[in-house]
Chain A
Amino acid sequence: MKRQIPVFLVFIFGVFMVFQYFSPHEASEWVYKFLMDWIYIIGIFAMALGIWSLIHVSYDKIKHKRHDWGYSVVTLAALFIMTFFGITGFNENGDWGFYFMTQEGLTNPMFLNFFNYILVPIETTMFSLLAFFIASAAYRAFRARNVLASMLLVSALIVMLRFNPYFGDAFAFYMNKTAAWLLNVPNMAAKRAILIGIGLGMVGTALKVVLGIERGYMGKG
């Protein structure tokens, strides 16, 4: 019974969602919206579980002074500080207070400063490091060892040079044309094949779940 009820529920809701997609009826829309609200509710519980897990793991690491425990201190400090500033702020009358249900925390100067002057530089720095890794990886990987590697190398050079303005208009025109062909024909053919494969795989997996063949979501296959 413990295994049959979840399989039955998944079947009922799975089949309903398939038919609902094609039915514009008001009743079907109402049930659909009701089910969507449940996703948010489940998500909120999942978030609470995630936060508890983060606190538990970090606290444990700090308590036993495990490897790199200092990072856990930073993690916990950031979590509590951002939460505190996110739910406190000044209202229209300039009174400071806790605001759980309204948006005052989003305009808290400390919340904004932490975002603008800590998170933004950290994230932009991390992403900009990609340029260095790409440069190093391109230098090491783009070797014309065989025909396929040579094709990859030539394609990369064409795409990189397509907007080079120093070799004249005719060169730029043909490079641009070739780059557009590379993106629109071979690239698109490969992408479409992958997308169709992914789509069919998703349909297959969904059917297996709905029909109770795939039961991995219950913890044990």
Chain B
Amino acid sequence: MTNKKDTNIFNRMMSIDRRWVFLLLVIVCVTAYFIPFTIPILIEPEVAVIHEFIDTLPPGSIIFLAIDYDPASLAELHPMTYALLEQCFRRNLRVMCTALHPNGPSMAEAAFLDVADSCRMDKTYNGEFFPAREVVNGVDYCFLGYKPYPALVILGMGTNFRLPFPADYYGTPLDSIPLMRGVQNYDQMACVVNISGTSGTEYWISYGQGRFGFPLALGVTGVMGAEYYPFLNSGQVFGYMAGMLGAAQYEKLADNPGKAIIAMKVQLYAHFLIIFFIIIGNVGFFMDKYKKKREGR
């Protein structure tokens, strides 16, 4: 039976039924999503450096894109992949790609097909006009697909891409792919960008960058955000995008607003709601403490 002293207003402020929290969160997220407005996105240097690095590469350079995520992280990481791929193809850079997560190949394939579609239209980004172009598999990009044991694959590719991947995802031998002419290993890559929702990132840092010394940039989920800052400051990672915020910043830098910028307003208002509940809980906690002290309990 509930005691009278436990049902005072302050106690209730501390123990709101979680279903109310869930309901309010749904209402806030859905409302923020459908109301058309934008929030300003401030750019952090660790995101800007990736954009600048790619933007200043000479045409024909090859970027290695490691797409190591599954549909669970799609909302946060797909926008990074899309913005980055579009920037590469518009600048006539070539892309090599692996997906070292079992569900990664479908993510990568969808991104390549969608961005190839987008490149068929004239676009202007950051005031620069980019005419429509055809993005061709094997010429503009080479998708190697999935292989188990990421550490071994990363090490193997350091010797020769043909060791772990004799053929690409579609079964074409690498020696028959135009993009692969003269391409042996990471030495021919301008940089590696790992977009990941898994611990595969650690393999890219330890076995990839650590052993072969290529420039490495990371795009990770929000919950992994704080995890990899030490590698940014140590110089092992030259650029870093974390979560939806990182994706939104990249979209803004690329002048290619997509789902991340839309999602940022939802995330901001969800954060406001969480802060509101934290304040309610703390006010209840302190007032209850004060009341008990006054009553001499």
| One of B40, B171, B226 near A183 (C-beta < 8 A) | B226
Known: A102-B171, A165-B39. Contact between A157 and B278, CB under 8 A? Answer: yes
CB of B176, distance to nearest CB on chain A (Å): 14
The stretch among B3-11, B56-64, B177-185, B266-274 that forms the contact with chain A is B266-274
Q: Are A163 and B41 in contact (CB under 8 A)?
A: yes
What are 18 contact pairs spanning A and B, CB under 8 A? Answer: A39-B152, A115-B103, A119-B103, A131-B270, A135-B22, A135-B25, A139-B21, A140-B281, A160-B274, A164-B268, A165-B40, A180-B44, A183-B226, A183-B229, A188-B229, A188-B230, A188-B233, A191-B230
Chain B residue contacts of A163, Cβ below 8 A: 39, 41-42, 245, 264, 268
Chain B residue contacts of A39, Cβ below 8 A: 149, 152
Is residue B170 contacting chain A, with contact meaning CB distance below 8 A?
yes
Q: How far is the CA of A161 from the CA of B278 in the complex (A)?
A: 13
Is residue B1 contacting chain A, with contact meaning CB distance below 8 A?
no
Is residue B73 contacting chain A, with contact meaning CB distance below 8 A?
yes
Q: How far is the CA of A191 from the CA of B29 in the complex (A)?
A: 32
Is residue B203 contacting chain A, with contact meaning CB distance below 8 A?
no
**Total A-B pairs in contact (CB under 8 Å)?**
125
Q: Are A128 and B41 in contact (CB under 8 A)?
A: no
Chain B residue contacts of A217, Cβ below 8 A: none
Q: B residues engaging A (CB < 8 A)?
A: 14, 16, 18, 21-22, 25, 29, 39-42, 44, 70-75, 103, 105-106, 148-149, 152, 155-156, 159, 163, 169-171, 223, 225-227, 229-230, 233, 245, 264, 268, 270-271, 273-275, 277-278, 280-282, 285-286
Q: How far is the CA of A156 from the CA of B72 in the complex (A)?
A: 24
| One of A29, A43, A115, A195 near B230 (C-beta < 8 A) | A195
| One of A127, A145, A188 near B72 (C-beta < 8 A) | A127
| One of A142, A143, A164, A191 near B227 (C-beta < 8 A) | A191
Q: How far is the CA of A142 from the CA of B225 in the complex (A)?
A: 20
Q: Closest residue to A132 on the B side, CB-wise?
A: B22
| One of B29, B156, B274 near A134 (C-beta < 8 A) | B274
Chain B residue contacts of A126, Cβ below 8 A: 72
Q: A residues engaging B (CB < 8 A)?
A: 29, 33, 36, 39-40, 43, 102-103, 106, 112, 115-116, 119-124, 126-128, 130-132, 134-136, 138-140, 142-145, 153, 156-157, 160-161, 163-165, 172, 176, 180, 183-184, 187-188, 191-192, 195
| One of A29, A136, A145, A192 near B22 (C-beta < 8 A) | A136
CB of B272, distance to nearest CB on chain A (Å): 8
Q: Are A135 and B229 in contact (CB under 8 A)?
A: no
Chain B residue contacts of A115, Cβ below 8 A: 103, 106
Q: Closest residue to B105 on the A side, CB-wise?
A: A106
Q: Closest residue to B74 on the A side, CB-wise?
A: A124
Q: Are B72 and A124 in contact (CB under 8 A)?
A: yes
Name the 9 nearest CB pairs between A and B, nearest first.
A127-B72, A123-B71, A139-B277, A120-B71, A123-B72, A103-B171, A160-B271, A136-B18, A165-B40
Q: Are A33 and B163 in contact (CB under 8 A)?
A: yes
Chain A residue contacts of B281, Cβ below 8 A: 139-140, 142-143
Q: How far is the CA of A126 from the CA of B74 in the complex (A)?
A: 12
Q: Are A153 and B278 in contact (CB under 8 A)?
A: yes
Q: Which of A103, A144, A163 has the most CB of B within 10 A?
A: A163
Q: How far is the CA of A219 from the CA of B30 in the complex (A)?
A: 53
Q: How far is the CA of A172 from the CA of B44 in the complex (A)?
A: 12
Chain B residue contacts of A33, Cβ below 8 A: 156, 159, 163
Chain A residue contacts of B70, Cβ below 8 A: 123
CB of A178, distance to nearest CB on chain B (Å): 14
Q: How far is the CA of A29 from the CA of B148 in the complex (A)?
A: 20
Chain A residue contacts of B169, Cβ below 8 A: 103, 106
Q: How far is the CA of A153 from the CA of B275 in the complex (A)?
A: 10
Q: Closest residue to A29 on the B side, CB-wise?
A: B159
Q: Closest residue to B202 on the A side, CB-wise?
A: A195
Q: Closest residue to A103 on the B side, CB-wise?
A: B171
Q: Are B285 and A43 in contact (CB under 8 A)?
A: no
Q: How far is the CA of A39 from the CA of B73 in the complex (A)?
A: 29
CB of B101, distance to nearest CB on chain A (Å): 11
